[in-house]
A and B are shown apart, each in its own frame.
Chain A
């Protein structure tokens, strides 16, 4: 699984960036539609849960995000995102 940030909820507080022990997140450079510099999942492959689908561990990002903007996303969808970004 990989963490995913919902831009509709992220307020750009960057608590995920601070909390993540594996530095998966980084501060965003673009303003979201809601007017925040939303954080981005820069290196999802460093996440403890990379390659796992159950018995997820850590979850500091999920529990800490004050805006319920971080959630788990199956990695199968990763490719689609990459395509879009490209």
Chain B
């Protein structure tokens, strides 16, 4: 299996639970990685803390598994000190959107050349199933035993608003579409964000009458709506989120100048 050559075989099988979407996303990512001709020797994988952030530890390249929420900040420093390296961030919904929310927004704004893959499993998996910022309203978790009173964040829409260069969202049910978006993300310069809604049968599914991975994948299939259709119908995406539905597709594809491509002109100053 070609993809397997990219992994640290001595660390296999990985730590993820049976049916976890992380492995699926690794397959799609590395299929895209191979397709665009990236090389492991020239790539560094950065992650924070959480289930998804364990992924770099299984890749046969330089990897840095950092503190909770700060992966984008670490990656920014690394990329700017070594612009010739390709830097990929693997992160999760809690890591990126909750504790690291500020770094995420400012990362999109700053537009350093990074590829950020966010695995959104709607829950804190590694700590045993607490509600996250993307847990849909009224769904169950160990910290929302009467159902989630809050409403979820829409990470991809935030990335669009904050100025990310490329934004796409798919679920683990959309493996081909996801692979294609990852290919696009890897070929584009700038801050590229791909969110993948992923299944956590152990901690999310089990508490929400979907203990089987296939039930979660079915749920993704039913609840996902193409973003272009939503926009064409002028539906407020927030209303969709509240209803536990998720928009998927390619959200935006810009060609903004990267942070380190900008040489500076200072045309608004007095030239002192």
CA distance A17 to B214 in the complex (A): 9
Chain A CB within 8 A of B27 CB? yes
Is chain B's binding surface mostly helix, strand, loop or mixed? Answer: helix
Contact residues on A (Cβ < 8 Å of other chain), bracket: 20 to 34
Q: How far is the CB of A6 from chain B (nearest CB, A)?
A: 9
- Asked if A14 meets B214 with Cβ closer than 8 Å, knowing A9-B13, A36-B18, A66-B16, the reply is yes
**Residue pair B20, A63 in contact (C-beta under 8 Å):** no
- Asked if A63 meets B179 with Cβ closer than 8 Å, knowing A14-B213, A18-B214, A68-B1, the reply is yes
Chain B CB within 8 A of A65 CB? yes
Residue of B nearest to A18 (CB): B214
Cross-chain pair count, CB within 8 angstroms = 69
Is chain A's binding surface mostly helix, strand, loop or mixed? Answer: loop
CA distance A13 to B201 in the complex (A): 10
Q: How far is the CB of B19 from chain A (nearest CB, A)?
A: 3
- Asked if A66 meets B23 with Cβ closer than 8 Å, knowing A8-B13, A11-B18, A36-B18, the reply is yes
By a CB distance below 8 angstroms, the chain A residues around B20 are: 66
1/0 per residue, CB under 8 A from A, across B20-54: the answer is 11111011100100000000000000000000000
Binding site for B on A (CB under 8 A): 8-9, 11-15, 17-19, 34, 36, 60, 62-68, 71-72
Could you name 29 residue pairs across A and B whose Cβ atoms are closer than 8 Å?
Answer: A8-B13, A9-B12, A11-B13, A11-B19, A13-B213, A14-B19, A14-B212, A18-B213, A18-B217, A19-B217, A34-B13, A36-B18, A63-B24, A63-B31, A64-B27, A64-B175, A65-B23, A65-B24, A66-B16, A66-B19, A66-B20, A66-B22, A66-B23, A67-B13, A67-B16, A68-B3, A68-B12, A68-B23, A72-B1
